Amino acid sequence: MDAIITSLSTYGYLILAYYSLGGGMLALIGAGILSSMGKMDITTSIAIAIVANAIGDNLLFYLARTNKEAVQKYLTKHKRKIAWTNLLMRRYGWMAVFMQKYIYGVKTLVPIVMGLTKYDMKKFTILNIPASIIWGLVVGLVSYYFSDLVRSWVG
């Protein structure tokens, strides 16, 4: 177990950055727990997760906007999730950008679906940056301050 924790603390920031491009919630929770153990720095972890998450969502939006035909081929298996994502976007509008950060299964679909529509990329970016900041702070700090509780559940 110590070897795993040492590896995670050595490569943790790199893993966090990569994983946060497409989601990152579990990686940020892990970084918060490792930070509370003194193996990582919580401020650096949150900053890396925020930046990578914002870049990842904007990249997904841009790829969907510029490669609609190629992206739509990969979405045929996710018709129910796409329908739910469209409903989420219609019902909540711009708040969907904030909400999607916390919903597993549609986290990556919302930027893609918004990119496929005529949603303004500048507006998406302006909304995505504060959404990523709030997401990073909430998930990172909650996992950091409640890590003792999580570690007691694990064993």
Distance of CA 67 to the CA centre of its chain: 22
The pTM is what? 0.86
Q: What mean pLDDT do residues 6-33 have?
A: 86
Separation CA 20–CA 140 (nearest Å): 12
What pLDDT shows up at residue 9? 67
The answer to whether 75 touches 110, Cβ cutoff 8 Å, is: no
Burial of 96 (0-12, 13-18, 19+ CB in 10 A): buried
List, for residues 55-85, the tens digit of each pLDDT value: 999 999 999 999 988 888 888 888 888 888 8
